[in-house]
Structure 1
């Protein structure tokens, strides 16, 4: 399955991966309905960066969470 095209299903896959990588306990903050599909490209870019990097330091994780917060619906 390719993640290149914006869709709710692809957004869900990306957010689930983020939750796993970041060790998110409260998965409700990763609900695809809380994220704007118009910001999919931003999320996909972040996803690609994290997948390429592999493991994140504590400060990188915090910065990443801040970035996720910025693309959530207000």
Structure 2
């Protein structure tokens, strides 16, 4: 696992990919790491840590987490 103390695009990509894998996101292709800004790093890291701590998620938990990631995406 990379050193997540460093705010890098590579670490954002790692965290997003791990979140998508753990949540088994069917729409994972829509959640590209490049859509996130380094300005949101701490928030992404918070979501990442929350997801990594749990083994199972209810549908409503997955929906909430995906919604939060959507909120953190860059506004185009």
Q: Normalized against structure 2, the TM-score is what?
A: 0.87
- Does the 8 Å contact 2:36/2:72 carry over to 1? yes
* Equivalent residue, structure 2, for 1:49: 50
Q: CA RMSD in A?
A: 1.2
Gaps of 5+ in 1: none
* Equivalent residue, structure 1, for 2:64: 63
Q: How many residue pairs are counted as aligned between the two chains? A: 74
Gaps of 5+ in 2: none
Q: CA deviation at 1:27?
A: 3.3
Greater share of helix residues, 1 or 2?
A: 1
Q: Deviations over 1:5-52 (max 9, x none)?
A: 110110010011111012123433221211111101000011101111
Partners of 1:57 and 1:39 in 2: CA distance: 25
